[in-house]
Amino acid sequence: MNLDGRWKLRDFMPGQGLAAGAHLPDHDDTNWHRASVPGDVHTALVEIGRLALPFYNMNVETCQWVERQEWWYRTAFEAPLGKDDAEARYLLTFDGLDTFATVYLNGTEIGSHRNMFIAATFDVAEHLRLGERNTLAVRFEPVVASVGEREIEGQWGRNPERAWMRKAQYNFGWDWAPRLMSVGIWQGVALRRYVGARLGGVFFKTTVISPQAAEATVVVEAERWADVPDLEAQITLSRGEQRLTDQTLLINGRAEVAFTIPDPALWWTHDLGEPALYDLEVALRASGKTLDTHCEQVGIRTIEVDQSSDPDERGTRFFTFVLNGVKLFAKGANWIPADSFVAQVDEARYRDLLELAVEANMSMLRVWGGGIYEKDVFYRLCDDLGILIWQDFMFACALYPDDAPFMAEVGREAKAVVRRLRNHPCLALWCGNNENDWLDDMLNWQRSGRDFPGKRIYHELLPPIVERLDGTRLYWPSSPYGGNDHNSAEEGDRHNWQVWHGAVFPRRFGEEPKRDLSPTGISYRHYAEDPARFISEFGLHAAPVLETLRRNVPATALHLDSPELLYRNKDEPKDKGDLLMLAHTGLPSSLQEYLDFSMICQAEGLKFGIEHYRRRKFHCSGTLFWQLNDCWPGLSWSVLDYYLFPKAGYFYARRAYTPVLASFKGEADGVSLWITNDTLEDLVDTVMVLHGDFSGQELYEEVLEVRVPANASVKVRHLSFDKLDIKDPRQEYLAVRSPSGLFPDNRYFFVEVKDLVRPKPNLKVEINERDDGTYEVRVITDTYAYFVKLTVPIESTRFSDNYFDLFPSQERVIEVWNEAGRRLEENDIAVGCL
């Protein structure tokens, strides 16, 4: 019985709701507010006009009172009469309660819950009134008051109260998020009836794969509370016309069945093949009756991480994901919650974001440890779209308690999460936390290797849980982790925050950390010095598009350095963007220049870093930049802003992540050309290399026949400075093109963007509407056109390409359409360049 829908909501001063009888069936709730479940308090208050839009202007500050109140939800329902009620159990399940909740049924307290991340289930048979009206009430206590003013000795994480509660940590504010303490029934509610027994868990795992057949095992667990003889599991695995079925008795509540799947369709990431899925159906039966069922889609695939020694770089180890026996370079980004109020993120928003990731050639996302274990629909979509997931446990940037009660709660959480997610083929790795090991070692560098608070969680509690309940994926204690310094370049994964944050590398255990917050210290040129094995965080800030700011900042404040604009930037100190622009673009003199220059810094920085790391394939085996998305309309590291308007960095990364990439590498005596091939086929192509000046004069041209092995990166040409004979590096560039269209055009500048000397291009633009309502935009230039951009202030608008360069006399045709089917007018489309 689904209990989602319209509930009633009211706040009380802490402790007064119970005294007012808010839990009692006869309580007068006539004047309570309407609220949606799933949902949250803030959104409900906005809907009734009691709260201003939190994201507009600086309204976040006017929302802070919400977290100090006690909030109550109420609903009423009629429980249907059923047969065999003597052996029936009625289980009331809340898939998500945020966070400190007490549940009442018909005036009786039936239990409490203190963990946002896992479901709360209560046996309510004793208190349920069958065939009658039932009243259900939920009380939410103020979160900070619920844990008190406890501190962990030596706590270095900001907002230290957050460490004591199992709640999304970013709600307390982060360097990209405002403090908005969500509260409410954020996932679905259901009342379910079982007779005699029910399924307790289903585990599908691939054990062996070959071209001829695959071996898989299905483990079924059941809970029995009545005298149910011969409990059996009927298991069906099917795909298209192929259907495999087995039936077995459960012994001591458990059964294990092995399947041989002939000619298996394997699950691959979308760039390597088809993410094939099978339907798995499990029926729990007894005496010819079906007692419970379980249905989901699964994938046949193996995943491991190669950490063997790298023979070409002594003293280092690989960190390479191997899917179905094939090594892959993981291309992707970090994923944060898609809204400050996660209850509001629906399937459509998840799909839009994930499809944009696929369109950007991403094969892996990292679910970051300061957010949430995502909703089921997120992982189902990743299964379907062929995106691998690096899954953090929810611990981030703080010391955490590891006393017995907290460890017990975390243990329950971990078991529930592993059981919920382990069948998803998209899931590639479990990770214990975000940055806790690394940050503690830096901040306590004189006590390197100490047993810091929370260490037992990641190194003692979680590993055996993952091994026992999963055992098919690597458990990695922290991110970053590995080597001499948890953020070393020799092994494991690294977060490169030399760029933007000014951390100085390399560093070793016991050494005092250093920072260089200067234009050169935070420059993205430092990526070229990084020999790391797997980059799980790196990135640069950029402003969102102007339309996003117009929706959230008053018109009078849309100018440089206005307090309202600076409020959108939660990073400290706030001048890092200026330092980066000083190094690469120069400082802006207007808001539009700020938007353009910050986007250029991010875009060029991501391009520079991704190209460097991909050239090192498989000495480096992955790049997950920070970050894909935003939770509010802020200034952050995201490449997709809150409304999913792509920044320039999105398109630069999309081109840098293409399966075949041609890139230039600056060297002491010249420039080399590399071809990186992520496909599983050997590559033979003809490429054109051009040396020209921005006015349109060709100084040198060469046609190369290149051969690149499958899944490899090769240097195919070295162009010495003597051969290039550069007259003025400020006015010249290198370009590489594929006449066959195998890879996107690329170019190389000899100086920083701010130092380029270019004639102002004359763009000729033709916009033609097609019969289906989409547009074809033809752009032609006379001289070199840098940062050609198409803007449309309408959400869900897509571009076949954007934020690109045009070489002299080059023509490009860009397709423009609206994914949501909204009508676009010709005057909605603006085209310009810098």
* Parallel/antiparallel/unpaired status of strands 746-749 and 732-737: antiparallel
- Kindly tell me if the per-residue pLDDT of 686 is higher than 80: yes
Q: What DSSP letter does each residue of 71-137 carry, written as one string? A: EEEEEEEEBPP-S-GGGEEEEEEES-EESSEEEEETTEEEEEE-BTTS-EEEE-TTT--BTSEEEEE
Task: Tell which residue, 202, 219, 188, has the closest CA to residue 296.
Answer: 202
Given this model, what pLDDT does residue 84 score? 65
Given this model, what pLDDT does residue 151 score? 85
Given this model, what pLDDT does residue 86 score? 76
Find where tokens 């898609």 sit.
Answer: 338
Backbone angles phi, psi at 434, to 5 degrees: -105, 110
Q: Which class does domain 659-754 fall in?
A: mainly beta
Write out pLDDT tens, residues 418-457.
Answer: 999 999 999 999 999 999 999 999 999 999 999 999 999 9
Task: Tell which residue, 421, 9, 397, 436, has the closest CA to residue 183.
Answer: 9
Write out pLDDT tens, residues 176-201.
Answer: 999 999 999 999 999 999 999 999 99
CATH of 196-298, one of 3.10.20.30, 3.30.420.40, 2.60.40.10, 3.40.50.720: 2.60.40.10
3-state class of 314 per DSSP? coil
Backbone angles phi, psi at 638, to 5 degrees: -65, 155
Q: What DSSP letter does each residue of 688-713 carry, written as one string? A: EEEEEETTS-EEEEEEEEEEE-TTEE
Report the mean per-residue pLDDT for the chain.
Answer: 97
Compute the Cα dihedral for 46, 49, 51, 56 and give only its sign. Answer: positive
Helices assigned H by DSSP within 521-659: 546-552, 563-566, 576-584, 591-615, 648-656
Write out pLDDT tens, residues 137-148.
Answer: 999 999 989 988
Residues facing 133 on adjacent strands: 78
Write out pLDDT tens, residues 155-172.
Answer: 999 899 999 999 999 999
Average pLDDT (673-692) is 98
Given this model, what pLDDT does residue 158 score? 87
CA pair distance 82, 44, nearest whole angstrom:
35
Backbone angles phi, psi at 468, to 5 degrees: -75, -40
Q: How many CB atoms lie within 10 A of CB 284?
A: 28
- Kindly tell me if the per-residue pLDDT of 207 is higher than 70: yes
Given this model, what pLDDT does residue 694 score? 99
3-state class of 355 per DSSP? helix
Query: Reading across the β-sheet that carries 120-123, which strands appear in turn?
Result: 120-123, 88-94, 189-195
CA pair distance 364, 330, nearest whole angstrom:
6
Compute the Cα dihedral for 360, 365, 371, 375 and give only its sign. Answer: positive
3-state class of 331 per DSSP? strand
- Kindly tell me if the per-residue pLDDT of 133 is higher than 90: yes
Given this model, what pLDDT does residue 163 score? 96
CA pair distance 173, 144, nearest whole angstrom:
14
Average pLDDT (357-386) is 99
| CATH number belonging to domain 758-834 | 2.60.40.10
Task: Tell which residue, 548, 529, 522, 656, has the closest CA to residue 601.
Answer: 522
Q: Where in the chain is the domain with CATH 2.60.40.10?
A: 196-298, 659-754, 758-834
Write out pLDDT tens, residues 28-46.
Answer: 999 999 999 999 999 999 9
CA pair distance 300, 273, nearest whole angstrom:
13
Given this model, what pLDDT does residue 787 score? 99
3-state class of 761 per DSSP? coil
CA pair distance 719, 739, nearest whole angstrom:
20
Given this model, what pLDDT does residue 392 score? 99
Which one-letter DSSP state was computed for residue 559?
Answer: S
3-state class of 822 per DSSP? coil
| CATH number belonging to domain 5-192 | 2.60.120.260
Write out pLDDT tens, residues 234-252.
Answer: 999 999 999 999 999 999 9
Is domain 303-657 in CATH 3.20.20.80, yes or no? Answer: yes
pLDDT bin (cut points 50, 70, 90) of residue 687 is: very high
Q: Where in the chain is the domain with CATH 3.20.20.80?
A: 303-657
CA pair distance 558, 577, nearest whole angstrom:
18
Which one-letter DSSP state was computed for residue 505?
Answer: S
Average pLDDT (802-825) is 97
- Kindly tell me if the per-residue pLDDT of 465 is higher than 90: yes
CA pair distance 744, 738, nearest whole angstrom:
7
- Kindly tell me if the per-residue pLDDT of 291 is higher than 90: yes
pLDDT bin (cut points 50, 70, 90) of residue 149 is: confident
Given this model, what pLDDT does residue 150 score? 84
Given this model, what pLDDT does residue 82 score? 73
- Kindly tell me if the per-residue pLDDT of 600 is higher than 70: yes
Compute the Cα dihedral for 169, 477, 266, 332 and give only its sign. Answer: positive
Task: Please state whether the predicted TM-score (pTM) of the whole model is above 0.95.
Answer: yes
pLDDT bin (cut points 50, 70, 90) of residue 227 is: confident
CA pair distance 343, 341, nearest whole angstrom:
6
CA dihedral 630, 635, 639, 642 (to 10 degrees): 40
Peptide bond into 506 cis (omega under 30): yes
Given this model, what pLDDT does residue 698 score? 96
Write out pLDDT tens, residues 74-116.
Answer: 999 999 887 667 789 999 999 999 999 999 999 999 999 999 9
- Kindly tell me if the per-residue pLDDT of 656 is higher than 70: yes
Average pLDDT (579-603) is 98
Which residues touch 454 (CB under 8 Å, ≥6 apart)?
A: 163, 395, 398, 399, 400, 401, 402, 433, 436
Q: How many CB atoms lie within 10 A of CB 60?
A: 19
Peptide bond into 573 cis (omega under 30): yes
| Angle (CA) 634 656 382, round 5° | 65
